[in-house]
Amino acid sequence: MSSVAEEAEISPSITLFSGLGFHARVASQVVQPKSAQELQQCIAQAYQNKQPVYPIGKGNNWGYGCKTPPQDGCTLLDLSAMNQILSFDEELGVIEIEPGVTQGQVARYLENTPWMLDCTGAGPDTSIMGNVLERGFGHGPVGNRSQHFTISELILADGEVIQLSQSSRYCGRAGLSANLHELFTQNNIAVISKMTFELMRKPECSLRCLVRLKSPEHLPDYIDIMRRLKSEGTIDGLPHLGNTYRMLTMMERFNFERWDPAKGANEADIARLCQQYQLTPWSGAFVITGATAIAKAKAARVKKLLSPIAQVNIVSLKKLKQLNQMAQKFSPVFGRIAIYHRFQNSLSDFTEMMDMLEGNPKDMALKGCYWRYRKDIPARMNPVEDGCGFFWVAPALPLIGTEVEQCMRLSQKAFDAAGFEFGVTLTAVNAHLCQAIISIYYDTSNKDEIERATALARDLRALYRAHSWPCYRRAVDEMPFDGEQELEQDALKLRQRIKTAFDPDDIVSPGRYQQNISSHLSMEQQG
């Protein structure tokens, strides 16, 4: 790519570690275009040279592979310098961005407007476009992000620029491009250079619903109640529910002095920590928004249905902040008392996390990635670069209590056998879908732990395939897929045909969300 060397920054070959066990790949070079024109030139030249490219936004796809390609030899297209907010329609509440635009950047941009970002828990330095294209989700009414975006410009493997959604005013998925946009999510058939996505109007009233199940046996009931509340429209956001370890990992660290890493945390100590933080086996929080009267009516409905199985508290963010300010005010007097100090820190962390539901991205959730990390947590967290060890496995489940409970029970059994703590978040994405994000945390300085964690991730993926629970996101260490082992073989065949039509020379992200070619040939011969 020497002809664009004077324009785009080029670095020599580099080994990229995905953060997934021992998995790593070598990129032949790193190219950082600064504009859509430079990007188009890079892709066109790569096509001429038959040089595969692998585009990333910010490269913070933590838990699924970061910036690491599935295969060696790609040119890493680092699009982080393409970070312009291209347009903002304040009447309609939509914003057009480039790949390097981050959650924090958009949140700051919208501060003095009627609109806010429905952000994820991945932190302020993550690419919005990258998350949308990976089908990520947030917390509020437009949190199911893959349903609330359109692509305004993409670049095909041969360098051709294609423009979609060219209405003078954004009108959603309409016209001849209406059904094309989602084709480019979780795919490797083009490079997206511009995207428009929908914002959330800042609500008149924003309430926090805090839920703590009274017993682990109530999980199926909770799931069924969520299905009812979602289907009737009482909850229009994405409620999250975490188990004990998912909550503890954001507050504590693995105690290497007291606990055996090969057997997991001591249950008696965990019980004491749960009592200290007043954690039940399942705890959750979600936002209820709208006009004041409507939000309060929704909150009353939620409380009525959940109260028989859970402790339910409804609080406004304003009151929560007032309580936090009071705790800080009395800190000089009571701060030396250990229990008060822990209470103040927990309240401060919780208040900050609840502020995230106001469109202000936080990195609080990333603390969990440091559960088996032996060093001090840095002020600015980047868990993979810092050396944390974790896999995220994400089975998609029907929003039916008994089936979600079965998945949790089988997953717990696998974790117990492997000697790891089972942490999971359950999210009611809509009235039909429950999305589980399952976390495997391990010590990267311990070879045995790396091997056990890698084996556990592999076993969980096989378990979910066996029960027809497809994972909604996939990690690069399992790409390209072995078609014979995959649940959706016909979909893989069709994806391969689409890939061949768009990119016959396999230039864009070879192997990503794609089946192994030898596996594909074997399937074709059998067919």
Beta carbons within 8 Å of 3's beta carbon, 6+ residues apart: 41, 45
- Give the DSSP letter string of 34-48: SSHHHHHHHHHHHHH
**How confident is the model over 446-486, as pLDDT tens digits?**
999 999 999 999 999 999 999 999 999 999 999 999 988 89
* Low-confidence residues in the chain, pLDDT < 70: 1-7, 321-353, 518-527
The pLDDT value recorded for residue 527 is 53
The reported pTM is 0.91
Respond yes or no on whether the N-terminal peptide bond of residue 480 is cis (omega within 30° of 0).
yes
- The torsion defined by the Cα of 236, 290, 349 and 214, in degrees rounded to 10, comes to -60
Give kind and range of the element (H or E) at residue 427: strand 423-428
Give dist(CA 525, CA 515) in Å, integer. 15
What would the pLDDT profile of 175-216 be if each residue is shown by its tens digit? 899 989 999 999 999 999 999 999 999 999 989 888 999 999
- Dist. CA 317–CA 345, nearest whole Å: 17
User: Quick one: which of 469, 527, 480, 460 has its CA closest to 65?
Assistant: 480
Q: Which two tokens stand for residue 513?
A: 């969300």
Q: What is the pLDDT of residue 522?
A: 52
Nearest to 390 by CA among 122, 24, 20: 20
pLDDT of residue 208: 87
CA of 485: how far to CAs of 86, 378, 410, 455, 473, in Å? Answer: 43, 40, 20, 16, 17
Q: Are strands 29-32 and 75-78 parallel, antiparallel or unpaired?
A: parallel
pLDDT per position as a tens digit, 388-408: 999 999 999 999 999 999 999
Could you give the C-alpha distances from 436 to 168, 237, 373, 425, 454, in angstroms and in order?
39, 16, 23, 6, 19
Full DSSP string of 264-324 = BS-HHHHHHHHHHHT--SEEEEEEEEESHHHHHHHHHHHHHHHTTTEEEEEEEHHHHHHHH
